[in-house]
A and B are shown apart, each in its own frame.
Chain A
Amino acid sequence: MSGEAGWLVAVVLSVVGAATPLLLAATGELVAERSGVLNLGVEGMMLVGAVAAFAAASTTGSDTLGILAGAAAGAAMALVFAVLALSLLANQVATGLAITIFGVGLSALAGSGFVGIALEPLPGLAVPGLSDLPVVGRLLFGQDVLVYLSLAMVGAVAYFLGRTRLGLILRAVGDSHDAAHAIGYPVVAIRYAATAFGGLMSGLAGAYMSLAYTPMWAENMTAGRGWIALALVVFATWRPWRLLAGAYLFGGITILQLHAQGAGIAVPSQVMSMLPYLATIAVLVVISRDRAKIRSSAPASIGKAFHPAG
């Protein structure tokens, strides 16, 4: 493998690593938001997923159990949110923020016994023959299972939302919960399911952080990636395939900024940290200028409490 290609492959691999947690969390949040639920608790759910995954993997020695534990923990946090916001009709924004703060603290408490433990990172796939191909080998066939899962889920969610009846119902619930209720669809049940899915994906994103990205547990290790995932959903105007592009773009910016520094280019690192949010604001401005665009972009009932009338 020539030097140039080797360097490029290494950079792309780093970008894949940086993008995967964003993609996992954002995909889950996208489904929740398309059903009309604005769950701002992504950061908290990711951290709880991270600590659960690490705890399970380090005590049982099984990465699979770790991944499952992370997903379950994320879903559990999401269900707490769901009970508060969907059944008790608490304000969704406030509840989401509370879940984040709660998740940060709970994960730190639960994780205090796991600090200083090192784990082997999630193994990459080893497809005989294919993984050894030059350049594409490691890139396409040598990633760990969560990377492939993140990509598969984007496709699955896109198919589900766009081409299945249940996906249509979910979108209907998100666009007009009163109309959906009038037709007879179980709005609250659908939102519960969507929220739980969102939490499950956030938990997987956290599991990726603590099992593959930096295989350790450290308080607050997601360091704001949950917020970036939230911004990512808006940046992608709630469309799954745009999520993919956005996640790799946001991940790429981080990695590129570090490379720029290493190459001696004096880009203030704070500017680079701002870029994902600046990009999201720009997208919001663009889609808000046209009333028709807004209607076709954001789920119309997002964040609104559902009061069944009759």
Chain B
Amino acid sequence: MRIFTTIIALAAVAAAGLVAPAGAAEPMKVGFVYVGPVGDHGWTYRHDVGRRALEQALGSAVKTTAVENVREGADAERVIQQLASTGHRLIFATSFGFMNAVIKVAKRFPKVKFEHATGYKRAPNVSTYMARFYEGRYVIGKIAGQMTKSGIIGYVGSFPIPEVVRGIDAFTLALRSVRPDARVKVVWVNSWYDPGKEGDAAKALIDQGADILVQHTDSPAALQVAQNRGVYAFGQSSDMIAFAPKAQLTAIVDNWDGYYIARTKAVMNGTWKSTDTWGGFDVGMVKMAPYTNMPEDVAAMARKVEDDIRGHRLNPFAGPIRNQAGKLVVKAGASLGDDVLRGLDWYVEGVEGELPK
């Protein structure tokens, strides 16, 4: 199916390239490569919202192309190559797994600018960008600490990559700062998006005593299960309240609008440089969905935590931090730096189970 969609998309892109009007003030072409469907209502959906914001802000000066469901690997390289060779001057590749494909194609097209989300390899024409989602995880950890009765939190994980581990750790640190005896159970579904499995994982976690669910997967299935079973949950990447009006406490919402507009303008002005952007609440890349289904004092606390992080008064990864074995790895007064965070591969105290390698 992905091959089918990709072929159709490539044909459309090629056709668009051929039919481009040759006139003055030709719109700048910007390409977007998505790993999942726009309809995932999560990760890819939010990138597409950013793309539409870009179109709205720059109007006829820009023309965007989006290709969805591009599988990481050879498919990705083909799609990115096709975009680069059909006049797109800026290409956003929105998944970690596109990294090698982006670097390869960037070498062949030195004049095209590439932006790779959540990656770590750069080049003169390749930038990386990421949002400090873990700041949002910290906020929801605080909320969970107040709202949990059983003290067991269920975490539906996708893949054990540093980004996901950061989220689990930040969440757990915040959780246990409010409720020191709480535990986090993690289940890995090995997919970013599989509603059936996510729902099964959610059921299993609830059956094991979890009364709040957190997820790092992209579908609202876990929230639906939470709604049906009468427990609380947090949405992921976008506000999923429609699926769980009584169960969703809040959601971590990705907001790429500002970044996409700024980078496109930079290419237009000729001021684009290869950078690494890691923005959080402070630049609006991460937002929280409205706080619902909780007492007002919990919501007020959450807003204050959000504010403190935004104003750089609170660092989610400030010490003291103990690892899963109980050893103090970060002293009070110190904190985990960005380079450690980028490659984070260990659990903090309070997370149950072994981190798969």
Contact = CB atoms under 8 A, between A and B. Distances in A.
Interface of A: 7, 10-11, 14, 17-18, 101, 104-105, 108, 111-112, 115-116, 118, 121, 209, 213-216, 218-223, 225, 254-255, 258-259, 261-266, 268-270, 273
B39 A264 contact: no
A263 B208 contact: yes
Contacts of B219: 214, 216, 218
Given A220-B1, A255-B204, A261 B187 contact: yes
Given A218-B195, A259-B208, 9 more contacts: A17-B200, A17-B203, A101-B4, A116-B242, A218-B40, A261-B187, A262-B208, A266-B356, A273-B190
A255 B224 CA distance: 18
A262 B189 contact: no
B158 to A, nearest CB: 11
Contact of A121 (B195, B228, B242, B352): B228
A269 B188 contact: yes
Interface string B319-357: 000000000000000000000000000000000111010
Contacts of B173: none
A115 B186 contact: no
B354 A266 contact: yes
A261 B186 contact: yes
User: Which of B40, B190, B207 has the most CB atoms of chain A within a 10 A radius of its CB?
Assistant: B207
A262 B196 contact: no
B87 interface: no
A259 B203 CA distance: 9
Given A108-B37, A209-B196, A218-B193, A101 B1 contact: yes
Nearest to A115: B39
Contacts of B205: 258, 262
B199 interface: yes
Contact of B207 (A7, A209, A270): A7
B195 A116 contact: no
Given A216-B224, A219-B69, A14 B200 contact: yes
A118 B4 contact: no
B220 A118 contact: yes
B83 interface: no
18 contacts: A7-B208, A14-B203, A17-B203, A104-B1, A105-B5, A116-B242, A118-B224, A209-B196, A218-B219, A219-B39, A219-B69, A220-B1, A254-B200, A261-B188, A262-B185, A262-B187, A264-B185, A268-B356
B41 interface: yes
B298 to A, nearest CB: 25
B145 interface: no
Interface residues of B, number: 43
Contact of B196 (A105, A115, A222, A261): A222
A269 B190 contact: yes
Nearest to A225: B196
Ranked 8 nearest A-B pairs via Cβ: A115-B39, A104-B1, A258-B204, A264-B353, A266-B354, A214-B195, A10-B207, A261-B187
Given A105-B4, A214-B196, A221-B195, A112 B39 contact: yes
B182 to A, nearest CB: 15
Interface in B40-55: 40-41
A269 B356 CA distance: 9
B190 A108 contact: no
Contact of B224 (A214, A223, A268, A273): A214
A214 B154 contact: no
B201 interface: yes
Contacts of B199: 213-214
Contacts of B352: 264
A116 to B, nearest CB: 5
Nearest to B68: A219
Given A108-B5, A115-B41, A216-B224, A264 B354 contact: yes
User: Which of A11, A258, A264 has the most CB atoms of chain B within a 10 A radius of its CB?
Assistant: A258
A118 B221 contact: no
B224 A215 contact: yes
A223 B190 contact: no
A214 B208 CA distance: 20
A251 B242 CA distance: 29
A222 B1 CA distance: 13
